[in-house]
A and B are shown apart, each in its own frame.
Chain A
């Protein structure tokens, strides 16, 4: 449909070398085609150029008919100069070098040169440019200006005004990328300061990015300030596991301890941005509450034990198996670990009591949109949102739940004019660029979804089967309007905007509302009728992986339903186990069964039910009611005090593994920091438990497990470690 864009090219010469470049490409980018570099401060390829710092000055001329080049009398800023036919650019002349020296000398006049104590020292563009292009001495002998050195803009960002070179990158980031425009330049000239309104808190959800894009040490991370020298840090690529976006990041660590996290370029996912939740959300690696050794309850106290004792106790409690044992998982566990957990439970303990879901509504296997309507629930990749003509985000505050998707959606609107319809029961950050805002009353999601579908049907753009048409009568746009409080014309307009190149976005947060199933079906139906894409995105780092790999009472790896006896048996044969026939219990039922003693042994894997489940009282009764409780986690949680056995688990960056993000992109996270204490990767814990229960060849690495996953769930064939792409691969 979208024809390959035809690009006009122009011929320019760079240092007398002729080269063809796309018309309008900025000179600062064009010279990179020849392997040259123009020094920059304010220019950032993801933001509009402003030409503020003058670092990128080049000499420019135009070819004359006689073949000579007539240069412009003054140098030009390469970052604001688009390439045009016959342009001759010189990046290496005496004049250019003199200009660069002049600009740097000028910038350094007011720069404190406190590099020895600066966080940026060693990775600072100002230092680098001065080294390569700057003057070796300064003629400035007057007093330097003095300004606040450690002003707390927010809990995360500390401003050192003396170091600011007024490039405006941070200001433009908040205007163009995150869109909150919370930073602006106050005052002018030498007094210009990038600060927040009246010095109030800089509360952007993406504030951490300005620390990274600051070309000097003016915006520093409050948590990282003075913690390390950049050359002391070791850096490895990693994946952020705080939410389901699965951003590519650099993990910086020092003597085996996590220190900081920076964005890593992955055009398909996060481009280069991070959100604050992710950037500052990895403290648990250094938490004083880290679990470092197994512990066993003897009499009334938890005592440190060794792994053999812990396994023996666990197997004794779980071996009776069947319906009396169960496991619940959290979101920060790798695909390999999820797979082995379900294999352990189904193969060894003969139980389907497994769940990873903590939402109020748990779709039964037969109710899932995939099986009921043949509708995939993850269709659109993050990158594809840029080219959507319209997007309906319903029941979700994207900036909080899918922050990187929020940035991508904002970019789509900013660059390509995507029409975004935001339907939520509260104010969201996406309202600021929404084409339409549908503010419905809490709890009326289903009426709105029905109203949208009914409006599409009424306008003749969608056809639905007669029973559905009958059913939709109760949600005619006017009825939906009175139920939801959204004006009728807005409902109609929203339905009109959606079409074949549109996407509907919602998250698992929608499963917490009343009538979640009906809402989802209407939305999926709306997408189906209009040939739009429907997406129900996961929220936890690897929730999607848990679902695909059978951490579900009724689903086996690769989404095979337990009810489908033949297919289930086939999956069992591939796994080399016999699948128990009886379906397991979903989270809520399971906790109730724990509370009234039907389940004797419960295994919590990387989850604190107190934090994840809405009903605290039920959780408490369940954890008290169950006879034997295994709490396997990274840090101490509220649940650990109820444990019979505590198993310390390694964090995602301390082990090898893959994670499936919201768009079903499997990305590998190699071990970055060394093992903490006696803790083990989750998959190794399950492998060792299996080995103790049944003699077999154990898995020795996560890679071996992925080989087996690929056999059991063919979608994961692309995720085998030898095939997995550098930026991950979508299933």
Chain B
């Protein structure tokens, strides 16, 4: 929101995309899943959350404006409403494109006592990024998160749908090397897992 009013300027905002200008990217599989989801609820508004997960998977882990617009279009809701929902929840990545793997470091009480901060500092130094940032090679995004509900394994980190802990520096070195060599995105995998949870057994398409 840096474009403040300019005196004497036109102060025109870009127009919201028109439906016919959208470049729809949902795969056939995604469309089938969405159609199945619509049968679960009395109205389409209820599909917004799972549809956003589908979009997060289809758009490679990041919900761009186009992704939000596509969800809005497919559910016949307003763009703003979809964006409002997506930006409310922290697990939808709406701020900027994320890396292939999202490393989420728990810094809540138990992890903190068991040394989460040195772990976080080590990761920041090793990856060369701060919290909320993505490495320049686009592999890792580092995040600080609240309690992950696995205090017995503190200090704990989450990558995609996997918990790792207790972690130490050597463990992290190994893990980062392994993740770097994995071509598949664990962010997309997590999104897919969540979509599958929303679907009934018969509707799953694997």
Stretch at the interface among B76-84, B144-152, B174-182: B76-84
Give the complex CA separation of A200 and B1 in angstroms. Answer: 11
Give the complex CA separation of A154 and B77 in angstroms. Answer: 21
Are A200 and B84 interface neighbours, CB within 8 A?
no
Produce 1/0 per residue, A202-213, CB < 8 A to B.
Answer: 110000000000
Give the complex CA separation of A150 and B6 in angstroms. Answer: 9
Task: Decide if B12 is an interface residue (CB 8 Å cutoff).
Answer: yes
Task: Decide if A9 is an interface residue (CB 8 Å cutoff).
Answer: no
Give the complex CA separation of A187 and B88 in angstroms. Answer: 5
Are B12 and A180 interface neighbours, CB within 8 A?
no
Are B87 and A155 interface neighbours, CB within 8 A?
no
* Known contacts A150-B5, A152-B3; A200/B14 CB under 8 A: yes
* Known contacts A154-B13, A200-B13; A185/B78 CB under 8 A: no
Give the complex CA separation of A148 and B83 in angstroms. Answer: 20
Interface centre among B72, B77, B78 (most CB of A within 10 A): B78
Are A200 and B5 interface neighbours, CB within 8 A?
no
Chain B residues 1-26 with CB under 8 Å of chain A are: 1-5, 11-17
Task: Decide if B68 is an interface residue (CB 8 Å cutoff).
Answer: yes
Are B84 and A185 interface neighbours, CB within 8 A?
yes
| Cβ-closest chain B residue relative to A154 | B13
- In the complex, chain A residues whose CB is within 8 Å of the CB of B72: 197
Are A196 and B4 interface neighbours, CB within 8 A?
no
* Known contacts A158-B5, A188-B88; A152/B13 CB under 8 A: yes
Are B16 and A201 interface neighbours, CB within 8 A?
yes
Are A184 and B4 interface neighbours, CB within 8 A?
no
Produce 1/0 per residue, A483-525, CB < 8 A to B.
Answer: 0000000000000000000000000000000000000000000
Are A183 and B87 interface neighbours, CB within 8 A?
no
Task: Decide if B118 is an interface residue (CB 8 Å cutoff).
Answer: no
- In the complex, chain A residues whose CB is within 8 Å of the CB of B4: 148-152
Produce 1/0 per residue, B40-84, CB < 8 A to A.
Answer: 000000000000000000000000010011001000011111111
Q: State how many angstroms separate the Cβ of A706 from the closest Cβ of chain B.
A: 45
Produce 1/0 per residue, A419-434, CB < 8 A to B.
Answer: 0000000000000000
Produce 1/0 per residue, A173-201, CB < 8 A to B.
Answer: 01100001111111110000001111111
Task: Decide if A685 is an interface residue (CB 8 Å cutoff).
Answer: no
* Known contacts A152-B13, A153-B13, A155-B12; A222/B5 CB under 8 A: yes
- In the complex, chain A residues whose CB is within 8 Å of the CB of B69: 197
Interface residues in A, total, Cβ within 8 A:
32
Are A197 and B13 interface neighbours, CB within 8 A?
no
Are B11 and A152 interface neighbours, CB within 8 A?
yes
Are B1 and A161 interface neighbours, CB within 8 A?
yes
Are B12 and A201 interface neighbours, CB within 8 A?
yes
Are A197 and B68 interface neighbours, CB within 8 A?
yes
The one of B14, B17, B83 that contacts A184, using a Cβ cutoff of 8 Å: B83
Q: State how many angstroms separate the Cβ of A622 from the closest Cβ of chain B.
A: 37
The one of A148, A151, A197 that contacts B80, using a Cβ cutoff of 8 Å: A197
Interface centre among B1, B2, B14, B77 (most CB of A within 10 A): B1
The one of B16, B77, B81, B88 that contacts A200, using a Cβ cutoff of 8 Å: B16
Q: State how many angstroms separate the Cβ of A168 from the closest Cβ of chain B.
A: 11
Q: State how many angstroms separate the Cβ of B82 from the closest Cβ of chain A.
A: 8
- In the complex, chain B residues whose CB is within 8 Å of the CB of A203: 15-16
Q: State how many angstroms separate the Cβ of A727 from the closest Cβ of chain B.
A: 34
Show 21 residue pairs from A and B whose CB-CB distance is below 8 angstroms, ordered by the A residue: A149-B4, A150-B4, A151-B5, A152-B5, A153-B13, A174-B80, A181-B80, A181-B81, A182-B79, A186-B84, A197-B72, A197-B83, A198-B79, A198-B83, A200-B13, A200-B14, A200-B79, A201-B13, A201-B14, A203-B15, A222-B5
Which 9 A/B pairs are nearest by Cβ-Cβ distance? A184-B84, A181-B78, A197-B79, A184-B80, A201-B13, A152-B11, A150-B5, A200-B16, A197-B80
Which of A's residues lie within 8 Å of B, judged by CB?
147-155, 158, 161, 174-175, 180-188, 195-203, 222
Which of B's residues lie within 8 Å of A, judged by CB?
1-5, 11-17, 65, 68-69, 72, 77-84, 87-88
